[in-house]
Amino acid sequence: MADRIRTLVVDDHHVVRQGLVALLRVMPEIEIVGEASDGLQAIELHRSLQPDITLMDLQLPNLGGVAAITRIRAETPAARFVVLTTFDGDEDIFRALQAGAKAYLLKGMTIDDLLSTIRLVHAGKTSISPAIAEKLAERMGTQDLTTRELAVLERIVAGRANKEIASDLAISEATVKTHVNNLLSKLGVSDRTNAATVAIQRGLVHFK
C-alpha cells in the first residue's frame, strides 16, 4: 500500500521493542521500516530511512530520546515523533514536547490509542491526553531551575553532602548552600529529602 505510514521504532528494551513491532506489523496501514536501540542509532536510521513517524522512548543509552529528537529535527525539521515511555513526570513531558514531539504516550496505553495517535501525528496534528495536558500545565506554572541548580539537585538525589557537591562542581560550600536554598524554594519543598523525591517524581532527575 502506497499510503502506509512508514514507522521507525526506538526503544532500548528488546522485548518491548519487538512487542511493539509485532503489534504494529499486523496493522495494514503501518509499515515498520526500522528499529533502533539507542539515540545515536535512531539518528542514523532516521537520516537513511526518512520515516513518516518515529516512536521514541526517552531513556536510551548513548543519547537520550529528547536529545535524539532535537538532533533529528535540526536535520529534518518536519520529522514527526510520538514519545512512548514509562516516564510521566511533568519535566519529561515538557522537555519532549519542547524538543518537537507531537504526542506523548505512556506504555500502558492500548493499541487503539497508539494507532489513533500515530494517525493524528501523521496527519500533522498534536495528540495530548487530558492527563498529560494537566501535568504539562502544572509544569508551566513552576520556575525553571538553572543549569547549576539542576547539577546540585542531581547530586542531592545521589546522596552527596554539600562538601562533596562543592568538590564535584569546583565551587565553594557557601555557593552550594545558596543553590540548595534557591532550588528548595523553586520546588516548593522544605528540605533535601523532599527535594529529591520531587525531582524524581517530576522527571527532573533520573536514576542512571
- Give the pLDDT confidence of 74-131 residue by residue, as tens digits: 999 999 999 998 887 777 888 888 899 999 998 888 889 999 999 999 999 998 887 7
Q: Are 45 and 32 in contact (CB under 8 A)?
A: no
Nearest to 45 by CA among 61, 30, 56, 58: 56
With cut-offs at 50, 70 and 90, classify the pLDDT of residue 42: very high
Give, in words, the CATH class of 147-202. Answer: mainly alpha
Nearest to 9 by CA among 27, 33, 30, 44: 33
Phi, psi of 13 (to 5 degrees): -90, 115
Domain boundaries, given as residue ranges, for the chain: 5-139, 147-202
As a whole-number percent, the residues of the chain with pLDDT over 70 amount to 95
CA angle 119, 124, 130 (to 5 degrees): 70
The per-residue pLDDT for range 15-30, each reduced to its tens digit, is 999 999 999 999 999 9
With cut-offs at 50, 70 and 90, classify the pLDDT of residue 140: low
Longest pairwise C-alpha distance within the chain: 65
With cut-offs at 50, 70 and 90, classify the pLDDT of residue 39: very high
CA angle 8, 39, 120 (to 5 degrees): 40
Cell numbers 526517552 correspond to 58
Assigned CATH for 5-139 = 3.40.50.2300
Task: Give 111-153 as a DSSP string.
Answer: HHHHHHHHHHHHTT--B--HHHHHHHHHHHTSPPPPHHHHHHH
CA angle 78, 81, 85 (to 5 degrees): 165
Under DSSP, the state recorded for 191 is S
- The reply to whether the predicted model has a pTM over 0.75 is no
